[in-house]
Amino acid sequence: MATVGRAVGVFPRPGFFEYLWSWLTTVDHKRIGILYGLTTTAYLLVGGLEALLIRIQLAHPESRFLDPDTYNQIFTMHGLTMIFLVAMGYNATFFNLVVPLQLGARDVAFPRLNAFSYWGFLFGSLLLNLGWLWGQAPGVGWFAYANLTSVQYTPGLGTDFYVMGLQVLGISSIASALNFLVTIINLRAPGMTMFKLPVFSWMTLVVSVLIITAFPPFTVGLIEVMFDRLFGTNFFNPAAGGNPVLWQHLFWVFGHPEVYILVLPAMGIVSEVLPVFARKPLFGYPFVVFSGIFIGFLGWGVWAHHMFAVGLGPVANSVFAITTMLIAVPTGVKVFNWLGTLWGGHIQLKTPLYFAALGFIAPFIIGGVTGVMHPVVPSDYQQTDTYFVVAHFHYVVMPIVAAFFAGFYYWLPKYTGRLLDEGLGKVHFWLFFIGTNLTFGSQIIVGFLGMPRRNYTYPAGLGWEPWNLLSTIGAFLIGLSVVVFVVNVLKSLRSGQVAGPDPWDGRTLEWLTSSPPPVYNFAEIPVVRHRDELWARKYGAHGERVGAHNPPNPGSELQIHLPRPSYYPLVAALGIAIGFLGAVLIRPAEVGGLGPLGWAVVVLGALITVGGLYGWAFEPAE
Amino acid sequence: MAEVAHAEHYTSTGIDHRKVLMWLFLGSECLFFGSLIATYQVYRGQSLVGPHPHEIFNIAYTSISAFVLLMSSLTMALAVNSIRLGNLPATRVWLLLTALQGSIFVGGQVFEFTTFVAHGLSLQVNLFGTTFFVLTGFHGAHVTVGIIMLFSLLFASVLGRLGPAQALTVEIVGLYWHFVDIVWIVIFTVVYLLPY
């Protein structure tokens, strides 16, 4: 059944519930991308609020604003929220908003699986945060080292919410990564060979491979923690011979590829934005692509650099030191290719370029340089567990956030049909840029002065006070910049300049269709002959102006088969989340669980899941 | 462009989406079982108290159930062949035989677990119990999911919704089934056959 566009005449103004239902059952990658974007932005505000609470606490020595236990929960949830919900959430947002359009496809390969991934993300993120209602959010750090996670040391429900929330998020991430892998492998427009694939789609491919390979070891680690906590097994119980270092291996063999899962899409965004605003092709496309692949590959061989202080011995430490230093090579190659792209270009100083060039590349180099200092093992022994490490990885992740902002200023007009305001955009950029450097530049120095991380307060008189105060002021500037961004988006929705199909004179296929794109994306699937296909269509492969857009042709609508809406993905995802909630509630009543009654919730969740999956499997897809 | 008007049938590689999805999923599963097996190997021979593997394993018994599971891959392949040829009765027979052999394996595992528990091996007693039950248990759960998929195919065939047009669906279930068998070859070798 093909329902294209809105039914005319019967319900010209659909009611609220009909509208809501259309979002709950949507399988359209564009709508799912918007849902991801809204959910993730909500978590950006939550995670940012947590960061501000941390900075208020640390602004002055001997502060009593937060008690130690609350501080542990807030810094843990800040990390979990920013990594799993914000960075991975925005990644999924851009995968959905950009990749099918860049490929010249009508949707992803599995539209219902895509909806399932979103609902799994939403319910998993709620489960991860549900501990706040018990006053027991996870408080063991995002790395949750064994055997702090044993019932002996963390008897409360916080660690259970950590385990179960991340399991649901992991299922959602793997489902989404599998979907985008098949989409990129199988749904490229005719003629789009792998080396005509836009770089953002390439990085999506690499990241998806990392997700489907890095999450399973983490899943197994979480299963082992769960069994230790619920069934009294001995995986991380030293009294029975268990080795807590095993958890560190399972965690970091996931955790380090996870860093590249976060950064590679940002590099993809930058590689899309720079050529458009330099009005030049990307310099050294094959080098950028192969460097991304090489980073993804090497990302598997560096995990123990998180464990130098554990005592693995000089051989292991040396091997991981060398592989870690090696990663600087492809990263440096990328940076020089971006510089080469800008060099000699007709540079258009628009907000996306501010965020991509100044917001990403420049601070990311600081993050990279501080990163290369860590694999020098003796030096790492001094830096480990200080604010120097905190400053280093925030100089890696804040540029990622800047790249997301670049992506929003660049691609949001494709979906809203309206440009964001350039003036507010530059205010947003400078607040963000100055705030970031103030916050984390101060932390580089206070780290060198020896201030330990993760402690809820610090004594006066060690020379740490001015840097901490500066850091807090910077954090509030970042917070203010995000408010400016939200205002800018709202203003653009109300009264932004109309974008048109191709506001930036773009190079890739997403600018070929209208803004916002029709539900079927392209009336006719484009045939690709060039790496910068749209640019070649507009200006010819050698610079002569040849043609124009092909606007969507409403006459051919009826021939297009679209997947029909389905609520089964939502049901299946809800069932999985209820099942994992039940697994939290199995914990005894003294700590806030339901005891054996929790099993009833597990069974209920399993039944809902099975019902959802069978409905899904036997429902006609179109 | 007549052939691209039906975009849902066009694929860049010429391979169906679902088949690519299953192969990628199985790649992901390799890492899942790899991590469980790695955990087992890290704790191999590290138990502080008994029962130890050589005290309770019955290699002959487990070899027979492993043989049954491996033979089920043969009947699975025959089922795929039959549905391609459009021979629905034969497909049903082979699917049923595959599911029955899988059930014999899982039943054998339940009996084995029960026997081990009677000999004092539990999830909690030592590292061997912890890692053995979790590794083989997750494999058994995968076989069980495969059996459910096979019975779902049989159910669909009873409803008249399984024919040569769905040969690919049977093949994809077969891919999963063969994968689960191959994983058992590795687990059986590592857990039962390698000397402690």
**Residue A457, helix vs strand vs coil:** coil
Query: Tokens 């540029």 correspond to what residue?
Result: A399
Q: State whether A378 and A431 are in the same domain.
A: yes
Q: How confident is the model at residue B80 (pLDDT cuts 50, 70, 90)?
A: very high
Q: Are residues A541 and A578 in the same domain?
A: no
- Is residue A402 located within the same domain as residue A542? yes
A523 lies in the same domain as A584: no
Amino acid identity for residue A117 in this structure: S
- Asked whether the beta carbons of residue B7 and residue A560 sit closer than 8 angstroms, the reply is yes
CA–CA dist A251, A234 (Å, integer): 17
User: What pLDDT does A621 receive?
Assistant: 59
Percent share of chain B, pLDDT over 90: 88
> What is the crossing angle of helices B88-118 and B167-187, to 10°?
30
Rounded CA-CA distance A174/A177 in Å is: 5
Are residues A601 and A531 part of one domain?
Answer: no
Q: Is B28 on the interface with A (CB under 8 A)?
A: yes
Sign of torsion over alpha carbons A180, A183, A186, A187:
negative
**Per-residue pLDDT at A543:** 56
Same domain, residue pair A507 and A588? no
Q: Are residues A331 and A477 in the same domain?
A: yes
pLDDT of residue B7: 40
Which domain-ending residue is among A551, A586, A610?
A: A551
A491-508 tens-digit pLDDT: 999 999 999 999 999 999
Q: Give a three-class secondary structure readout of A215-245.
A: HHHHHHHHHHHHHHHHHCCCCCCHHHCCCHH
Assigned domain for A3 exists: no
- What is the structure's pLDDT at B4? 36
Distance CA B62, CA B39 (A): 22
Look at residue A255 and tell me if it is in a domain. yes
Q: Give the gyration radius of chain B's Cα atoms.
A: 20
**A contacts of B161 (beta carbons < 8 Å):** 618
Inside any domain, residue A234: yes
b/e map of A294-317 (b: 16 or more CB within 10 Å)? bbbebbebbbbbbbbeeebeeeeb
Cβ neighbours of A451 (radius 10 Å): 21
- Disruptive mutation site among A1, A107, A186, A618 for chain B (greatest number of B CBs within 10 Å): A186
A489 and A584, same domain (yes or no): no
A543 and A585 both lie in a single domain: no
**Alpha-carbon distance A201 to A196, whole Å?**
10
Q: What pLDDT score does A540 carry?
A: 81
**A547-565 burial, b if ≥16 CB within 10 A, otherwise e?**
eeeeebeeeebeebbbbbb
Question: Where do the H-state alpha helices sit in A81-110?
Answer: 88-103
| Last residue in a domain, options A551, A581, A606 | A551
Region for residue A302 given its phi and psi (left: phi exceeds 0; alpha: psi -120 to 50; beta: otherwise): alpha
In the three-class reduction of DSSP (H, G, I as helix; E, B as strand; rest coil), residue A333 is classed as helix
Average pLDDT over residues A194-215: 96
| A418 — pLDDT class (breaks 50, 70, 90) | very high
Domain ranges in chain B are 18-193
Residues of B in contact with A227 (CB under 8 A): 123, 130, 134
- Note the pLDDT of residue A559: 61
Position A562 in a domain: no
Residues A241-266: what's their mean pLDDT? 96
Same domain, yes or no: A477 and A581: no
Residues A572 and A514 in one domain: no
Report yes or no on A9 lying in a domain.
no
What pLDDT, on a 0 to 100 scale, did the predictor assign at position B3?
Answer: 34
pLDDT of A509-565, one tens digit each? 999 999 999 999 998 889 999 999 999 999 887 655 554 445 444 444 446 777 889
Number of domains in chain A: 2
Cα A439 to Cα A40: distance, rounded to the nearest angstrom: 23
- Whether pLDDT at B176 is above 50: yes
Q: Could you say which residues from 186 to 215 on chain A have a Cβ atom under 8 Å away from some Cβ of chain B?
A: 186-188, 190, 192, 212-215
DSSP run (H or E) holding A473:
helix A465-495
Burial of A9 (0-12, 13-18, 19+ CB in 10 A): exposed
> Could you confirm whether A142 is annotated as catalytic?
yes
**Predicted pLDDT at B150:** 97
For residues B132-146, average pLDDT: 97
Task: Give the mutation candidate from B21, B47, B138, B161 for the A interface (greatest A CB count, under 10 A).
Answer: B21
- The answer on pLDDT for A1 being more than 80 is no
What is the distance between the alpha carbons of residues A569 and A26, in angstroms, rounded to a whole number?
10
Which of A184, A185, A524, A564 would you mutate first to test chain B, the one with the most B CBs within 10 A? A185
Residue A312: CATH number of its domain? 1.20.210.10
pLDDT bracket for residue B113 (50, 70, 90): very high
B1 with A110: Cβ contact below 8 A: no
Dump pLDDT digits (tens) for A284-293.
999 999 999 9
* CB < 8 Å to B48, chain A: 240-241
Round to whole Å and give the CA distance between A25 and A466: 53
pLDDT tens digits, one per residue of A428-460: 999 999 999 999 999 999 999 999 999 999 999
Average pLDDT, chain A: 92
Integer Cα distance of B47 and B31 in angstroms: 25
Which numeric CATH code is attached to B18-193?
Answer: 1.20.120.80
Q: Is A86 inside any structural domain?
A: yes
The contacts of residue A503 (CB under 8 Å, 6+ apart) are A413, A419, A515
Q: Is B35–A188 a contact, with Cβ atoms under 8 angstroms apart?
A: no
- Torsions phi, psi for A586 (to 5 deg): -60, -25
Going by pLDDT thresholds of 50, 70 and 90, the confidence category of residue A410 is very high
Q: Which of A132, A123, A235, A138 is nearest to A170 (CA)?
A: A123
Among A174, A186, A556, the residue with its CB nearest the CB of B12 is: A186
Q: What is the ipTM of this complex?
A: 0.93
pLDDT for the residue numbered B94: 97
The predicted pLDDT at position A8 comes to 44
Q: How does DSSP classify residue A321?
A: H
- Interface A-B, measured as beta-carbon pairs within 8 A, has a size of 123
Q: Give whole-number Cα distances, A513 to A186, A417, A501, A508, B5, in Å.
A: 21, 11, 6, 11, 17
List, for residues A123-158, the tens digit of each pLDDT value. Answer: 999 999 999 999 999 999 999 999 999 999 999 999
| Residue, of A359 and A1, whose pLDDT is higher | A359
Residue by residue, DSSP assigns chain B as -HHHHSGGG--SSSS-HHHHHHHHHHHHHHHHHHHHHHHHHHTTT--SSS--HHHH--HHHHHHHHHHHHHHHHHHHHHHHHHHHT-HHHHHHHHHHHHHHHHHHHHHHHHHHHHHHHTT--TTT-HHHHHHHHHHHHHHHHHHHHHHHHHHHHHHHHTT--SGGGHHHHHHHHHHHHHHHHHHHHHIIIIIIS--
With an 8 Å Cβ cutoff, are B47 and A223 in contact? Answer: no
Domain hosting A507: range is: 16-551
> Is residue B13 within 8 angstroms of chain A, CB to CB?
yes
Whether residue A10 is contained in a domain is answered as no
Q: Identify all chain A residues contacting B130, using CB atoms and an 8 Å cutoff.
A: 227, 233-235, 240, 242
| pLDDT for A563 | 83
Residue that is last in its domain, among A517, A551, A585: A551
A425 within a domain of the structure (yes/no): yes
CA-nearest residue of chain A to B2? A524
Residues A447 and A530 in one domain: yes
A16 pLDDT above the threshold of 50: yes
Whether the Cβ atoms of residue A248 and residue A310 lie closer than 8 Å to each other: yes
| Angle (CA) A140 A83 A61, round 5° | 55
Cβ of B48 and A181 within 8 Å?
Answer: no
